[in-house]
């Protein structure tokens, strides 16, 4: 079960909008929460505590020219940067570390 602090942070992250749209296209798009994936973020039976806001297009839909993190992960990373990079920017916008 999530703590009140975790729920508040997820809500603030979603309210921020898609971090890719914000950084690369200077626009707001409603965001879904994407929990970071990969060995760095692996937990046993739990989702990573690090997450970013991504719109539907950047989270699931995408195309090779406009990649999403789940459908075209390599192209997404090449075009928009790593999850760590996007997480760090999310924290800066939220006033975190």
17-66 pLDDT, tens digit per residue, is 999 999 999 999 999 999 876 545 455 445 557 889 999 999 999 898 99
Residue 97: which pLDDT band, with cuts at 50, 70 and 90?
low
pTM of the model: 0.83
How many helices (H) and strands (E) in the chain?
5, 2
CA distance 95 to 57: 26
Write out pLDDT tens, residues 62-91.
898 999 999 999 999 999 999 999 999 999
Helix (H, G, I), strand (E, B) or coil at 6: helix
Q: Taking phi first (over 0 means left), then psi (-120 to 50 degrees means alpha), and beta for anything else, what does residue 53 get?
A: beta
Place of tokens 């790593």: 82
* Continuous segment of H or E residues that includes residue 34: strand 32-35
């Amino acid at each position: 079960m999530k703590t009140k602090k975790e729920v508040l942070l997820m809500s603030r992250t979603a309210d921020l909008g898609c971090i890719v749209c914000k950084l690369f296209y200077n626009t707001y798009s409603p965001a879904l929460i994407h929990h970071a994936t990969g060995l760095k973020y692996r937990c046993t039976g739990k989702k990573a505590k690090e997450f970013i806001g991504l719109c539907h297009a950047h989270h699931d839909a995408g195309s090779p020219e406009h990649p999403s993190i789940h459908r075209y992960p390599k192209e997404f990373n090449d075009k928009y940067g790593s999850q760590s990079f996007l997480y760090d920017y999310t924290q800066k916008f939220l006033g975190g570390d």
